[in-house]
Amino acid sequence: MLLAEARAEIVRHARRLRPDGLVVGTAGNLSVRVGELLAVTPSGVDYDELTPELIGVHRMDGTAVEAELPPSSELPFHLAAYRAEGAAAVVHTHSVAATAVACLDGLSQLPPVHYYTAMFGGPLRIAPYETYGSAELAAGVEAALAGGRRGCLLANHGAVTVAGSLAAAYGLAQQLEWMCDVYLRTRAAGLPRALDAVQLEQATAKLAGYGRSQPGS
Protein backbone atom coordinates (compact mmCIF):
# COMPACT_ATOMS: atom_id res chain seq x y z
CA MET A 1 0.00 0.00 0.00
CA LEU A 2 1.43 3.34 -1.05
CA LEU A 3 2.10 5.92 1.69
CA ALA A 4 0.94 3.48 4.36
CA GLU A 5 2.36 5.51 7.25
CA ALA A 6 0.82 8.78 6.04
CA ARG A 7 -2.55 7.13 5.47
CA ALA A 8 -2.56 5.62 8.95
CA GLU A 9 -1.61 8.98 10.46
CA ILE A 10 -4.49 10.68 8.64
CA VAL A 11 -6.94 8.14 10.06
CA ARG A 12 -5.64 8.73 13.60
CA HIS A 13 -6.08 12.49 13.33
CA ALA A 14 -9.39 12.28 11.45
CA ARG A 15 -10.90 10.30 14.32
CA ARG A 16 -10.00 13.15 16.67
CA LEU A 17 -11.76 15.85 14.64
CA ARG A 18 -15.25 15.42 16.12
CA PRO A 19 -14.21 14.76 19.74
CA ASP A 20 -11.93 17.82 19.57
CA GLY A 21 -14.82 19.96 18.32
CA LEU A 22 -13.21 20.81 15.00
CA VAL A 23 -15.97 19.42 12.74
CA VAL A 24 -19.50 18.05 12.76
CA GLY A 25 -20.59 15.01 10.73
CA THR A 26 -18.21 14.30 7.89
CA ALA A 27 -17.16 17.93 7.41
CA GLY A 28 -13.49 18.85 7.14
CA ASN A 29 -10.63 17.02 5.51
CA LEU A 30 -6.94 16.18 5.96
CA SER A 31 -4.03 15.50 3.67
CA VAL A 32 -0.31 14.74 3.83
CA ARG A 33 2.21 15.27 1.04
CA VAL A 34 5.10 12.86 0.50
CA GLY A 35 7.26 13.88 -2.44
CA GLU A 36 5.08 14.21 -5.52
CA LEU A 37 2.19 12.25 -4.01
CA LEU A 38 -0.39 13.16 -1.40
CA ALA A 39 -2.74 11.13 0.77
CA VAL A 40 -6.14 12.73 1.36
CA THR A 41 -9.38 11.85 3.11
CA PRO A 42 -12.20 10.60 0.85
CA SER A 43 -15.49 12.41 0.38
CA GLY A 44 -18.39 11.74 2.73
CA VAL A 45 -17.02 8.84 4.78
CA ASP A 46 -17.83 8.75 8.50
CA TYR A 47 -14.59 9.24 10.41
CA ASP A 48 -15.35 6.30 12.70
CA GLU A 49 -15.46 4.04 9.65
CA LEU A 50 -12.32 5.40 8.02
CA THR A 51 -9.42 3.00 7.45
CA PRO A 52 -5.98 3.58 5.89
CA GLU A 53 -7.10 1.70 2.77
CA LEU A 54 -9.87 4.27 2.22
CA ILE A 55 -7.43 7.19 2.27
CA GLY A 56 -6.70 7.94 -1.38
CA VAL A 57 -3.30 8.61 -2.89
CA HIS A 58 -3.12 11.19 -5.67
CA ARG A 59 -0.53 12.96 -7.76
CA MET A 60 0.04 16.68 -7.34
CA ASP A 61 -2.13 17.33 -10.39
CA GLY A 62 -5.03 15.61 -8.61
CA THR A 63 -5.08 12.37 -10.59
CA ALA A 64 -5.65 9.20 -8.60
CA VAL A 65 -2.82 6.71 -8.09
CA GLU A 66 -4.34 4.43 -5.48
CA ALA A 67 -7.84 5.43 -4.40
CA GLU A 68 -10.94 3.31 -3.81
CA LEU A 69 -13.19 6.35 -3.34
CA PRO A 70 -13.48 9.89 -4.69
CA PRO A 71 -11.24 12.33 -2.81
CA SER A 72 -12.47 15.16 -0.64
CA SER A 73 -14.28 17.79 -2.68
CA GLU A 74 -11.71 20.24 -1.34
CA LEU A 75 -8.77 18.50 -3.03
CA PRO A 76 -8.26 21.59 -5.27
CA PHE A 77 -7.44 23.84 -2.33
CA HIS A 78 -5.28 21.18 -0.71
CA LEU A 79 -3.22 21.14 -3.90
CA ALA A 80 -3.10 24.94 -3.87
CA ALA A 81 -2.08 25.00 -0.20
CA TYR A 82 0.92 22.80 -0.95
CA ARG A 83 2.37 25.65 -2.93
CA ALA A 84 2.86 27.42 0.42
CA GLU A 85 6.46 27.32 1.61
CA GLY A 86 7.22 24.29 3.77
CA ALA A 87 3.71 22.82 3.62
CA ALA A 88 3.63 19.04 3.98
CA ALA A 89 0.21 18.65 5.60
CA VAL A 90 -3.15 20.44 5.35
CA VAL A 91 -6.00 20.44 7.87
CA HIS A 92 -9.42 21.89 7.01
CA THR A 93 -11.98 22.34 9.78
CA HIS A 94 -15.45 23.76 10.40
CA SER A 95 -14.85 24.53 14.08
CA VAL A 96 -17.45 26.82 15.64
CA ALA A 97 -15.42 29.87 16.68
CA ALA A 98 -13.27 29.94 13.55
CA THR A 99 -16.33 29.61 11.33
CA ALA A 100 -18.16 32.31 13.30
CA VAL A 101 -15.28 34.76 12.81
CA ALA A 102 -15.20 33.84 9.11
CA CYS A 103 -18.89 34.84 8.92
CA LEU A 104 -18.39 38.35 10.36
CA ASP A 105 -18.99 41.11 7.84
CA GLY A 106 -16.22 43.62 7.21
CA LEU A 107 -13.25 41.54 8.40
CA SER A 108 -10.36 40.82 6.05
CA GLN A 109 -8.29 39.09 8.72
CA LEU A 110 -8.49 37.80 12.28
CA PRO A 111 -7.31 40.75 14.37
CA PRO A 112 -4.07 39.86 16.20
CA VAL A 113 -5.45 40.03 19.73
CA HIS A 114 -3.05 37.37 21.03
CA TYR A 115 0.64 36.77 20.46
CA TYR A 116 -0.12 33.25 19.20
CA THR A 117 -0.76 35.06 15.92
CA ALA A 118 3.01 34.83 15.48
CA MET A 119 2.70 31.03 15.18
CA PHE A 120 0.95 31.59 11.87
CA GLY A 121 3.50 33.92 10.31
CA GLY A 122 1.32 36.98 10.91
CA PRO A 123 -2.38 37.89 11.05
CA LEU A 124 -4.61 35.24 9.54
CA ARG A 125 -6.30 36.45 6.37
CA ILE A 126 -9.89 35.62 5.48
CA ALA A 127 -10.22 34.27 1.94
CA PRO A 128 -13.32 35.62 0.15
CA TYR A 129 -16.31 33.31 -0.04
CA GLU A 130 -16.37 30.94 -3.00
CA THR A 131 -18.31 27.72 -3.58
CA TYR A 132 -16.72 24.76 -1.87
CA GLY A 133 -14.59 22.57 -4.12
CA SER A 134 -14.18 25.32 -6.71
CA ALA A 135 -11.04 26.55 -8.44
CA GLU A 136 -11.92 30.02 -7.17
CA LEU A 137 -11.81 28.83 -3.57
CA ALA A 138 -8.47 27.13 -4.22
CA ALA A 139 -7.08 30.40 -5.59
CA GLY A 140 -8.37 32.26 -2.54
CA VAL A 141 -6.68 29.81 -0.17
CA GLU A 142 -3.40 30.09 -2.04
CA ALA A 143 -3.53 33.90 -1.86
CA ALA A 144 -4.46 33.87 1.84
CA LEU A 145 -1.47 31.63 2.65
CA ALA A 146 0.99 33.70 0.61
CA GLY A 147 3.96 35.23 2.36
CA GLY A 148 4.59 32.41 4.79
CA ARG A 149 1.20 32.23 6.50
CA ARG A 150 0.45 28.88 8.13
CA GLY A 151 -3.30 29.28 8.25
CA CYS A 152 -6.29 31.23 7.05
CA LEU A 153 -10.04 31.50 7.44
CA LEU A 154 -12.52 30.89 4.63
CA ALA A 155 -15.38 33.38 4.59
CA ASN A 156 -18.71 31.77 5.57
CA HIS A 157 -17.04 28.37 5.56
CA GLY A 158 -14.26 27.38 7.98
CA ALA A 159 -10.49 27.32 8.43
CA VAL A 160 -7.31 25.89 6.91
CA THR A 161 -3.92 25.30 8.52
CA VAL A 162 -0.69 24.03 6.97
CA ALA A 163 2.61 22.85 8.44
CA GLY A 164 5.55 20.54 7.92
CA SER A 165 3.74 17.63 9.55
CA LEU A 166 0.15 16.57 10.14
CA ALA A 167 0.60 16.75 13.90
CA ALA A 168 1.80 20.35 13.61
CA ALA A 169 -0.99 21.39 11.23
CA TYR A 170 -3.56 19.77 13.51
CA GLY A 171 -2.13 21.60 16.51
CA LEU A 172 -2.36 24.88 14.61
CA ALA A 173 -6.04 24.16 13.86
CA GLN A 174 -6.64 23.82 17.59
CA GLN A 175 -4.71 27.01 18.34
CA LEU A 176 -6.64 28.87 15.65
CA GLU A 177 -9.96 27.78 17.13
CA TRP A 178 -8.81 29.01 20.56
CA MET A 179 -7.68 32.36 19.12
CA CYS A 180 -11.01 32.85 17.36
CA ASP A 181 -12.88 32.03 20.57
CA VAL A 182 -10.79 34.60 22.49
CA TYR A 183 -11.48 37.20 19.80
CA LEU A 184 -15.24 36.58 19.84
CA ARG A 185 -15.38 36.75 23.65
CA THR A 186 -13.32 39.95 23.66
CA ARG A 187 -15.47 41.52 20.98
CA ALA A 188 -18.61 40.65 22.93
CA ALA A 189 -17.20 42.23 26.10
CA GLY A 190 -15.72 45.37 24.57
CA LEU A 191 -13.27 46.69 21.98
CA PRO A 192 -10.53 44.17 21.16
CA ARG A 193 -6.99 45.50 21.53
CA ALA A 194 -4.79 44.31 18.68
CA LEU A 195 -1.03 43.84 18.86
CA ASP A 196 1.09 45.99 16.55
CA ALA A 197 3.73 44.81 14.06
CA VAL A 198 6.63 45.33 16.48
CA GLN A 199 4.92 43.33 19.22
CA LEU A 200 4.24 40.48 16.78
CA GLU A 201 7.85 40.51 15.60
CA GLN A 202 9.02 40.23 19.22
CA ALA A 203 6.63 37.32 19.80
CA THR A 204 7.86 35.64 16.62
CA ALA A 205 11.45 35.85 17.85
CA LYS A 206 10.50 34.38 21.24
CA LEU A 207 8.44 31.57 19.75
CA ALA A 208 11.25 30.63 17.36
CA GLY A 209 13.20 29.36 20.34
CA TYR A 210 10.30 27.91 22.29
CA GLY A 211 11.00 24.41 23.52
CA ARG A 212 14.72 24.72 22.82
CA SER A 213 16.41 27.72 24.42
CA GLN A 214 13.51 29.90 25.57
CA PRO A 215 11.28 29.29 28.58
CA GLY A 216 7.57 28.85 27.97
CA SER A 217 4.87 31.19 29.25
Q: Return the pLDDT at 204.
A: 92
Residue 217, in any domain of the structure: no
Q: Return the pLDDT at 215.
A: 36
Specify the number of domains making up the chain.
1
The residue from 49, 53, 74, 136 that is catalytic is 74
Low-confidence ranges of the chain (pLDDT < 70): 210-217
Radius of gyration of the chain (CA): 17
Q: Return the pLDDT at 212.
A: 47
Q: Return the pLDDT at 211.
A: 59
The parent domain of residue 154 ranges over 4-210
Q: Is the dihedral of CA 91, 168, 142, 115 positive or negative?
A: positive
**Cα separation of 138 and 128, whole Å?**
11
Residue 216, in any domain of the structure: no
Residue 121: CATH number of its domain: 3.40.225.10
| DSSP secondary structure letters along 66-131 | E-SSPBPTTHHHHHHHTTSTT--EEEEE--HHHHHHHT-TT-SB----SGGGGGGTSSPBEEPP--
**Cα separation of 14 and 144, whole Å?**
24
This prediction has a pTM of: 0.94
Residue 129, in any domain of the structure: yes
Whether 68 is catalytic is no
Residue 146, in any domain of the structure: yes
Residue 184, in any domain of the structure: yes
Q: Return the pLDDT at 216.
A: 38
Q: Return the pLDDT at 208.
A: 83
